[in-house]
Amino acid sequence: MTTAIEIRNVNKQFVLRHTRSMKEAFVWLMKGRKGDLSERFHALADVSLTIEEGETVALLGFNGSGKSTLLKHISGVMRPDTGSVQTRGRVAGLIEVGAGFHPDLSGRDNVYLNGAILGMDRAEIEERFDSIVEFSEIGQFIDTEVKFYSSGMYLRLAFSVAVHTDPEVFLIDEILAVGDEPFQKKCLAKIAELAAEGKTLVVVSHDLDMVAKICERGVLLDHGRVLLDGPVDEVVKRLRQG
Amino acid sequence: MTDRSAAGGGPRDELVAPGYGHGLRDVVRSRYLLKLLVQKELRVRYRGSVLGLLWSYVKPGVQFVVFYVALGVFLGLEQSERNPAGLPNYAIYLFSGIVLINYFNEALGNASRAIVSNGGLIKKIYLPRELFPIASTWVSAVHFVPQILILLVACLFSGWSPTVLQLAAAVAGFLIVTMFAIGLGLLFGAVNVYFRDAENLVDMLLMVATWASPVLYPWLLVREKLGETFFLIYQLNPITVAVETFHFAFWLPTTERAEAIPPNLLSLWIPVALVTSGLMLVIGQLVFRRLEGRFAQEL
C-alpha cells in the first residue's frame, strides 16, 4: 500500500479576536505590548494521521472539533503552524461545493471556470463537459445564468463538476445535506463508485448513518485531538454514547 | 498534467506538501484558469449596463475633456497664438499621460482589493492566489487597449510618424507600469488581508500618483521650481519615467521636435525604471508569499 495522505504532529492555533486596523495595532505597540492583542485557541493539537491509498475515512466529531480545519489542511487551503501535511496526487475538494461559482455567469461558463479552479485543463473540461451536464440533470438550463437556478440545480451542477475532476484524493465536507432524495442517492452511488475504483476518500459529515455506509475507517476528533481511530462502526458508536 | 499542481496536488508518484506553490510560476502554469478569470471579470463588470465596454472609452474621455479645458485652456498650458509659452499639442501630451496613469490606477486599485474580494474562494479551495491580482491587472490592460487606440488615431491625425525606437520605448513604458503595478498590487493585496487600511492607503497613493508624474504639467516645471536634486528624486519614480517615455513615443513626434525630453531618458532613466519596477515585482512576490500562508484564516 502507498500512503495517500500523511499528517504528522500538526498543530494549528486560531486567533479569536482580530485587529483589523493599524490604529489598534499601533496603540498596542505604544502601550508596550501589554496584554495579548488576540486570544488564541487550538483548532488542531498534535494530530497525526496516515491514510493509505484507497481508504475511505470519515472524520467524526461535534461542531468545533476540528474536522473541517483538518480537511482544509489536507487541501492546502491552510498551512499547519507546526508539523507537516503531505499528499500524493491530485486532491479535489467537495468542500462547500460551488465556492467557485459566479451567479452572473451561465451554467456552461461556470462549468469551465469551476473545472479550471479545481485543477482541470481545457482539454479535460471539454472532454468531460457532456458527461458533467448529463450527470447534473441540468439539461437545457445549462446556458441560463446560475442565479436563476434552484438551490438543488446549483448543487447538482457543482457536485457534478467536482466528481468529474478525477482526483486521486477526494475531500467531501457536508455536501449531501442539500438536493432531493433521488439526487442524494445518485451522489452516494457515485461516491461509492469512486471508493470502489480505489480512490481515497475523506468525508466529513454529521449524518452518521450515511458515513457508516460509505466509509470503512472512522477518526473521532474532539477539541482538535484524535480521540479514536478505528473501524467506522466502533467510532460512530462511541460518538453516539457521547 | 502540469495544471494538476494548481489544485494542490503534485505528480502522482510523490508526496508533496499541499498549499505551497511556486508563486508567479504557478500563474504561468494555470494560464487557462487565468484566462477564464479575466473573462469572468470582464463579463461581470459590465453586466446589465447598456454601454458595456464603451464605459472604458467614456470615462477617460470625460476626464480628458475636463482636464483639457481646465488646465490647457483656463490655466494656459496649451500653446496658442496668444499663449506661445504653452505646450504644443497639449491635448496629446495630456492624453498620452492620462491613459498610462489610468492604467496604473485601475491595475493597482483592483489588484490590492483582489485577495479580499475573492476571499470566499481562497478560504475554500487552494489555487495559486497570485492569480487574482494578476487577473485584475490583466483586466486593466484590456481596458487600456481601446484608450491606446484612440491615442494612436489622435496621433496619426497630428502627423505622428514614429520611429522603431519610439515604439520600443512605448512598450518599455507599458512594461514599467505593468511590473510596478503587479509588484505593488501583490504587496498591498496581501497586506490588505491583515489590515484593511491598505486599500485606503492605496487610494491615497493613487491620488498622489497622478500629480507626482508630469501627466498634467510639463516636467520642465519641476526642475525649474524645485532644482536639480529634487528632480533626480522625482525621476526615481518609475511611473514618472513611464509617462515621460509615453510623451517621447506619442507626443514628441507630433511636435516640431523642439520640445526637450528629460536628459538621459533613454540611456539612463528607462533602464533604471525597468530595474526599479522589476525589483518592486520581486519584493511584492516575496511579501505575498510570506503572508499568504494565513490568508484562509484571516479572511
- Whether A167 contacts A91, CB under 8 Å: yes
Q: Would an 8 Å CB–CB cutoff place A129 in contact with chain B? A: no
In a domain, A11, yes or no: no
Query: Does the distance separating the beta carbons of A168 and B37 come in below 8 Å?
Result: no
Shortest CA distance to A75 belongs to which of A216, A169, A190? Answer: A169
- d(C-alpha B4, C-alpha B25), whole Å: 14
Q: How many CB pairs under 8 A join A and B?
A: 133
In a domain, A225, yes or no: yes
Query: Does the distance separating the beta carbons of B16 and A88 come in below 8 Å?
Result: yes
Shortest CA distance to B64 belongs to which of B31, B25, B91, B34? Answer: B91
Residue A11 identity (one-letter amino acid): N
Say what the ipTM of the complex is. 0.85
In a domain, A113, yes or no: yes
Q: What is the pTM of this model?
A: 0.88
> What is the mean predicted confidence (pLDDT) over A158-182?
80
Domain count of chain A? 1
Collapsed DSSP state (helix, strand, coil) of residue A225: strand
Q: Which residues contact B264 (CB under 8 A, 6 or more apart)?
A: none
Interface of B with A (CB under 8 A): 2-4, 6-20, 30, 32-33, 36-37, 39-40, 43-44, 47, 120-127, 195-197, 293-294, 296-298
In a domain, A203, yes or no: yes
Nearest CA in chain B to A69: B297
Q: Is the pLDDT of residue B143 over 60?
A: yes
- d(C-alpha A57, C-alpha A3), whole Å: 13
In a domain, A38, yes or no: no
Q: Would an 8 Å CB–CB cutoff place A103 in contact with chain B? A: no
In a domain, A154, yes or no: yes
Query: Does the distance separating the beta carbons of B296 and A78 come in below 8 Å?
Result: yes
Residues A124-165 pLDDT 10s:
999 999 999 999 888 899 999 998 988 888 888 888 888 888
In a domain, A28, yes or no: no
Q: Contacts of residue A82 in chain B, CB cutoff 8 Å? A: none
Nearest CA in chain B to A99: B121
Residue B68, C-alpha cell as written in the block: 483639457
Query: Does the distance separating the beta carbons of A76 and B8 come in below 8 Å?
Result: yes
Q: How far is A27 from chain B (nearest CA, A)?
A: 14
Nearest CA in chain B to A170: B9
Q: Would an 8 Å CB–CB cutoff place A33 in contact with chain B? A: no
Q: Contacts of residue B13 in chain A, CB cutoff 8 Å? A: 88
User: For chain A, what is the largest distance between any 2 Cα atoms, rounded to a whole number of angstroms?
Assistant: 64
Shortest CA distance to B182 belongs to which of B113, B279, B281? Answer: B281
> Which residue range forms the structural domain that includes residue A62?
56-80+90-241
| pLDDT confidence band for B237 (50 / 70 / 90) | very high
CATH number, residue A159 = 3.40.50.300
Shortest CA distance to A71 belongs to which of A146, A12, A19? Answer: A12
Residues B144-193 pLDDT 10s:
998 898 899 889 888 888 889 999 999 999 999 999 999 999 999 999 99
In a domain, A46, yes or no: no
